[in-house]
Amino acid sequence: MKVLFLLISLGFGLTSFTQPAIKTFAFEQDNVPGTKPAGVTDENGNLVRKVAAKKNYFIFLSFNKAYHITPTQVFIRGNPLTVTSTLIRKTPIELVNNNIPNKPQKITLVPATSNKVLEIQVNEAPGENAKSTTVQKLTNKNEVVVVYSWKKKTYFLTLKKLKKLDPVFNE
């Protein structure tokens, strides 16, 4: 009986030291700007140039509702970026692609779940560039590295590849 009690308490003790199970969903989408007519000038007489294409990133973390996790930084292809996060109250999370107006496509980014879901918004401002050796090793092998804190400790989530979504064409 004592052995059984010891094994059960050891099992509970070990689970309190492991990091939470987190499922990561990460997508990349090209955002192609519309074209500007040739020879257009602004109100100061300066030639208006075409805007460079951007990338939209959609990153979501799904984990048990009992956990409180705070994403602090994201590295995409080795580039450090600052982040803000938002708690998502309703799943599934879908994106509508209106490239073909008569046939909009729904893409499920996060399936329906009873877990807590955080959306991570990547800011264009670069984040802190001081990489530890651990972060450097992780960014060399993975396209996405999410740095988060849980119970006052820092942890890392990695994703080998971003899933590519169809580009958005603006007018």
Lowest mean pLDDT among 2-16, 67-81, 153-167: 2-16
When pLDDT is averaged across residues 43-48 and rounded to a whole number, the result is: 76
Band (pLDDT 50/70/90 cuts) for residue 52 is low
pTM: 0.79
Q: Which two tokens stand for residue 33?
A: 């700007």
pLDDT at 36: 59
> For the chain, which residues make up each domain, given as ranges?
19-169
